[in-house]
């Protein structure tokens, strides 16, 4: 189950990192605004893991960009809700 195509998300993520590193939750918020993801869509969860579907879509896009060496994964940081998620920055091959 997907809300947005990870390849489409991948096209926009480097733009959010041009000014420096950003945590995953900020990238997710920017993409949700850009793609007009509704609150109802954001509430949808994966059946097995219960992870929000859109969060999973963004995580998959981030993973693809890390594997392509377009972005670099940094250490986890505290999220506003008390959890921990990684931050990212542009990689050497990003344009």
Residue 3: predicted pLDDT = 66
- The fraction of the chain above a pLDDT of 70, given in percent, is 93
Sheet with 84-90: strands ordered across: 22-23, 84-90, 71-78
Give per-residue burial for 53-92: e unless 16+ CB within 10 Å, then b.
bbbbbbbebbebbeeeebbbeeeeeeeeeeeebebbebbe
In the chain, the domains with their CATH numbers are: 6-90 (1.10.10)
Q: Which is more confidently placed, 94 or 38?
A: 38
Averaged confidence pLDDT in the chain: 88
pLDDT tens for each residue of 4-39: 788 899 999 999 999 999 999 999 999 999 999 999
């Amino acid at each position: 189950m997907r809300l947005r195509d990870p390849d489409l998300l991948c096209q926009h993520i480097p733009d959010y990192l041009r000014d420096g590193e950003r945590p995953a939750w900020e990238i997710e918020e920017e993409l949700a605004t850009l793609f007009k993801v509704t609150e109802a869509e954001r509430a949808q969860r994966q059946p097995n893991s219960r992870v929000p579907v859109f969060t999973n879509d963004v995580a998959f896009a981030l993973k693809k960009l890390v594997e392509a060496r377009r972005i670099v994964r940094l250490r986890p940081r505290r999220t506003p809700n008390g959890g921990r998620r990684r931050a990212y920055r542009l990689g050497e091959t990003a344009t």
